[in-house]
Homo-oligomer: A and B are copies of this chain.
C-alpha cells in the first residue's frame, strides 16, 4: 500500500477542541486554598510544578499523575500535618478533572463538520495523557464519530509523530496538525516536513511553552480562531 495522497487533518484535543488546562489550573487554586492552614510560603505553584516534573518519568502526563503529585506536595509542604479529609478533597479535585462536562470550544463543531462533510478530509485526533481519561473525554465530546483515527500517546515529540506517520502510511506533505501547543503540536510537525497550524489557547502549562526565538526558526501557520481553518486549508491545499 502506498502513502496516502489524501490530506489528513489531525487535531490535538485538550485546549484545541475543548478546554482542559483551566481545570488543572483551577485544581491548583483549590490546592493552594487547602494549604492555607499549613503553609505560609509563596512558591506553591513552583513547588507543585517541580513535583510534577520530578514524577513525570513514573506517572507520565495526565490527571491521575497530577492528582498524586498534588497529594505529595500537600504532604510535604504541610510537613505531614495534613488531615485525611484534606487529602480526600485533593482526590475529589482530581476526580472532577477526570469527569468534567466536555464543552467544545467556539467554532469547533462547525469547523470539524465542514472539513469532514464538505471537504471530505480524513480527520484524526492525536492527544496525550492517561489512556482511559482521554478515551472518556473523546467519548463525552459528542464529536468522536467525525474522526477516522484516534491516537492517544504518552508523549508528543518528533519520534512519536514519526512513528504515527509510518504506522498510518502518511506522507508528511499531506499531513496537517492543528493544536494549541507549539512544543507538542506544532514544532515537531514543522521539523518533520508536515504542516502545522497553531491556535493559541488563553493559558499554556509552563512545561508546554517554548521561546519565541525557538519557534521563529520554523514555519507554521497561526490562527486566533479555529473557524479560520477551512479557508486556510482551502487556500493551501486546494489552491483556491
List, in ascending order, chain B residues with CB within 8 A of A88's CB.
72, 75, 80
Answer whether residue A157 sits at the interface, using C-beta atoms and an 8 A cutoff.
no
| CB-nearest residue of chain B to A1 | B1
Secondary structure at the A interface, as helix, strand, loop or mixed, is helix
Measured CB to CB, the closest approach of chain B to A74, in angstroms, equals 8
Indicate if the CB atoms of A98 and B58 lie closer than 8 Å. Answer: yes
A68 and B97 CA atoms in complex are apart in Å by: 14
A132 and B153 CA atoms in complex are apart in Å by: 8
Answer whether residue A60 sits at the interface, using C-beta atoms and an 8 A cutoff.
yes
Answer whether residue A226 sits at the interface, using C-beta atoms and an 8 A cutoff.
no
What's the interface size class on A, roughly? Answer: 35 or more
Indicate if the CB atoms of A59 and B154 lie closer than 8 Å. Answer: no
Indicate if the CB atoms of A91 and B72 lie closer than 8 Å. Answer: yes
A130 and B131 CA atoms in complex are apart in Å by: 6
Give the residue of B59, B80, B99 whose beta carbon is less than 8 angstroms from that of A64.
Answer: B59
| CB-nearest residue of chain B to A72 | B91
Answer whether residue A85 sits at the interface, using C-beta atoms and an 8 A cutoff.
yes
List, in ascending order, chain B residues with CB within 8 A of A65's CB.
64, 132
Indicate if the CB atoms of B130 and A60 lie closer than 8 Å. Answer: yes
Give the residue of B83, B91, B132 whose beta carbon is less than 8 angstroms from that of A68.
Answer: B91
List, in ascending order, chain B residues with CB within 8 A of A91's CB.
68, 71-72
A88 and B153 CA atoms in complex are apart in Å by: 29
Answer whether residue A133 sits at the interface, using C-beta atoms and an 8 A cutoff.
yes
Give the residue of B64, B85, B131 whose beta carbon is less than 8 angstroms from that of A154.
Answer: B131
Indicate if the CB atoms of B68 and A78 lie closer than 8 Å. Answer: no
Measured CB to CB, the closest approach of chain B to A145, in angstroms, equals 14
Answer whether residue A222 sits at the interface, using C-beta atoms and an 8 A cutoff.
no
| CB-nearest residue of chain B to A98 | B58
Indicate if the CB atoms of A80 and B84 lie closer than 8 Å. Answer: yes
List, in ascending order, chain B residues with CB within 8 A of A165's CB.
none
Answer whether residue A44 sits at the interface, using C-beta atoms and an 8 A cutoff.
no
Indicate if the CB atoms of A95 and B154 lie closer than 8 Å. Answer: no
Beyond contacts A71-B91, A78-B84, A87-B87: 20 other A-B pairs, Cβ-Cβ < 8 A, are: A58-B99, A59-B64, A59-B98, A59-B132, A60-B130, A60-B132, A61-B132, A62-B132, A74-B84, A75-B87, A75-B88, A80-B83, A80-B84, A81-B84, A130-B130, A131-B131, A131-B152, A131-B153, A131-B154, A132-B154
